[in-house]
Structures are given as C-alpha cells and as structure tokens.
C-alpha cells in the first residue's frame, strides 16, 4: 500500500503510556510513512521527568518499535528542557529532523507532525526555519476546552497537561507562528475511552506487543490507584487521535471525514492556558468530536492481525 502521508511522531513516551499505544498503532499503519519518532519529556511535575527524560522516551519508543517489527524507523531525542525565551529555539535531534523532513523537495506526500506532548521540538523547528510552516500540518493533542465549543472545565483541572510541559513553546506556536495547526483539546481527546475489560480481551492476548501495551497501562493505573487517584475501569487513550487524523482518512479525497471540527482564526493563548479570540489569527482547525469506534477497533484489529 503506497503511503498517503508522511508522519513525524513526537511524544513523551516515558510518561503516560497512552503515547506508547499511539506509537504502536501508527507503526502498524501502512498508509503512512513514519519518517521519525521524537522522544520528548513529560511535564516537569511528572516523576518521569527526572534525569534525562528525552533519552528515557527514546528508550521506551524503541521497545515498542522493536516489538512492532519497525526497527527501520529513526528514533531521536528532543530537548530535555522547554523554551525559556520565545525567540530562542532548543537545539535537538528531534527539532533538526522536523526541519530536514519539511524542507525536502523530492516528494509531494503531505507531512504531519503528530504531537502528543509538549511543543518544544516543533516550536524550535519553526524558530530555526520559519519556512516549514507552509510545508507541514501540526496535529496537537493539548490545550484547554474552548468555552463556546465545550462544557467549561472543572477549575481543578487547571492548565492542560500537554500545554504545561512547555508553556513558552505553546505560546510560540499559538501567538507567533504561522504553522498550520489542528488541535484536539482536552474535552475531545478525553472522548477516547477504553475499558479495562476491552483491553483485557482485545489488547493483552495479542502477542508481545499487545501484552507490553496492556501491562504499561495497567502499571500506571495501579500506581495512581496506590496514590489515591481512583482510576475506575476505563483508560483515556488520549494520544490515539493522532492516528485517526493522519492515517485513518477517507479513501476518496483523503480527510478525517468521520470526525467533526470547526475552522476559525487562531486565538491567542494566555499564560493560564485560556484563549483570547482574534479575528486576524492564522487559520486553525479545532476538533470537537472524534470517531472513537474507528480508531479503537482499528487498533484492536491491527494487533489481532499481526
């Protein structure tokens, strides 16, 4: 099957294991050419952020790639720390790979940067070479609810997790860049819920890869339960929309046609993660509803077919 899109996958693979599920699913999709995987750090408050978290994310991603039979995919480190100055990029292998892939002139296959964590690498890539903005689409899992599109968030949720990983980079992307942006905000990525029973039946039995993914999710659930965060019987596979919106597109005129979105001028992002509407921002796509059936059943089927 010839690929219909190129993808660079950037995520905090040493943190919440929903990123490992996303990566495994992406690597099993024949319709996309995974050009690189970038391992990034989780939020500073996350215990996994200690030491060299980008290296830890690379190691976690490499295990998944090997189990998926995809040792051919380059796995590169992003920066361990976020931006301090909105005019100064963080140098990393990941940011350099984004620039290099975006600036290729030998292909017209569309390029997506699929980001399930902080925005350090893509913001640094744009600061290094602004011309990439016209040559890729950034698909980002992150950001608070938009007040006119969702029920207002419980104030206890505070700053959305992925935006909190590198708030300066998020400000660069929203307020300074002209990157083409598709956003899946918090209320939307939380739609991708899988029950423990589903995962036991449809993920765990399917080879070393399925068991590895299930065990990673189960360990995190057990850890949080032990800390008094009662997780119930579902898990939010919040990074899986990256697969849905880049690989599982309609056949004629490829598009994420089974999901719903609105296009509007990009708002300004405030320090607290809220949005200030503008009339002259670059265009932005905000997803409001996802085809959870398609993404979850395709994941299950691909694991079973291996």
CATH number assigned to the domain comprising residue 127:
3.90.245.10
Nearest-CA neighbor of 290 among 139, 164, 158? 139
Q: What phi, psi does 115 have (nearest 5°)?
A: -115, 120
**Alpha-carbon radius of gyration of the chain:** 18
In the predicted model, what is the mean pLDDT of the chain? 96
256 part of a folded domain: yes
Please give the average per-residue pLDDT across 231-236, as a whole number.
96
pLDDT in tens, 194-208: 999 999 999 999 999
198 part of a folded domain: no
Number of domains in the chain: 1
Q: 168 pLDDT exceeds 70?
A: yes
Strand partners, 287: 261
- Write down the pLDDT at residue 47: 87
The parent domain of residue 183 ranges over: 5-192+236-290
58 part of a folded domain: yes
d(CA 80, CA 86): 17
- Write down the pLDDT at residue 71: 94
**Which are the contacts of 45, defined by CB distance < 8 A and separation ≥ 6?**
164
- Write down the pLDDT at residue 48: 84
- Write down the pLDDT at residue 155: 65
Beta strands in the chain (DSSP E): 5-11, 32-39, 75-77, 111-115, 137-141, 180-184, 193-195, 234-236, 260-265, 268-269, 275-276, 283-289
Please give the average per-residue pLDDT across 286-291, as a whole number.
98
pTM: 0.96
pLDDT in tens, 123-151: 999 999 999 999 999 999 999 999 999 98
Q: 46 pLDDT exceeds 90?
A: no
213 part of a folded domain: no
120 part of a folded domain: yes
151 part of a folded domain: yes
215 part of a folded domain: no
272 part of a folded domain: yes
Please say whether the beta carbons of 23 and 128 come within 8 A.
no
Q: Are strands 268-269 and 275-276 parallel, antiparallel or unpaired?
A: antiparallel
Nearest-CA neighbor of 299 among 186, 210, 188, 217? 210
| Cβ-based neighbour number of residue 41 at 10 Å | 31
Least confident of 24-28, 39-43, 48-52: 48-52
Q: What is the DSSP letter of 7?
A: E
Q: 154 pLDDT exceeds 90?
A: no
């Amino acid at each position: 099957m010839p690929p219909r899109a190129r993808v660079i996958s950037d995520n905090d693979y040493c943190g919440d294991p929903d990123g490992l599920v996303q990566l495994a699913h992406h690597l099993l999709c024949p319709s996309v050419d995974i050009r690189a995987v970038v391992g990034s750090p989780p939020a500073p408050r996350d215990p996994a952020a200690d030491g060299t978290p980008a290296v830890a994310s690379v190691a976690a991603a490499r295990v998944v790639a090997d189990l998926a039979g995809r040792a051919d995919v380059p796995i590169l480190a992003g920066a361990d720390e976020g931006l301090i100055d909105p005019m100064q990029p963080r140098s990393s292998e990941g940011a350099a790979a984004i620039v290099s892939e975006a600036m290729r002139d030998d292909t017209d296959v569309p390029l997506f940067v699929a980001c399930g964590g902080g925005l350090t690498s893509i913001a640094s890539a744009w600061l290094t070479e602004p011309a990439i903005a016209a040559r890729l689409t950034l698909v980002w899992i992150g950001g608070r609810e938009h007040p006119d599109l969702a029920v207002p968030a419980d104030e206890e949720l505070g700053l959305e997790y992925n935006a909190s990983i590198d708030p300066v980079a998020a400000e660069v992307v929203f307020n300074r860049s002209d990157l083409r942006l598709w956003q899946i905000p918090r209320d939307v990525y939380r739609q991708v819920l899988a029950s423990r029973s589903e995962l036991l039946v449809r993920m765990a039995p399917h080879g070393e890869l399925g068991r590895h993914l299930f065990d990673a999710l189960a360990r995190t659930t057990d850890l949080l339960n032990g800390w008094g965060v009662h997780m119930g019987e579902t898990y939010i596979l919040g990074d899986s929309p990256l697969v849905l919106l880049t690989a599982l597109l309609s056949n004629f005129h490829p598009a994420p046609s089974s999901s719903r979105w609105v296009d509007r001028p990009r708002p300004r992002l405030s320090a607290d993660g809220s949005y200030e509407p503008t009339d002259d921002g670059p265009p932005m796509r905000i997803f409001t509803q996802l085809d959870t059936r398609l993404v979850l059943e395709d994941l299950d089927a691909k694991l079973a077919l291996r």
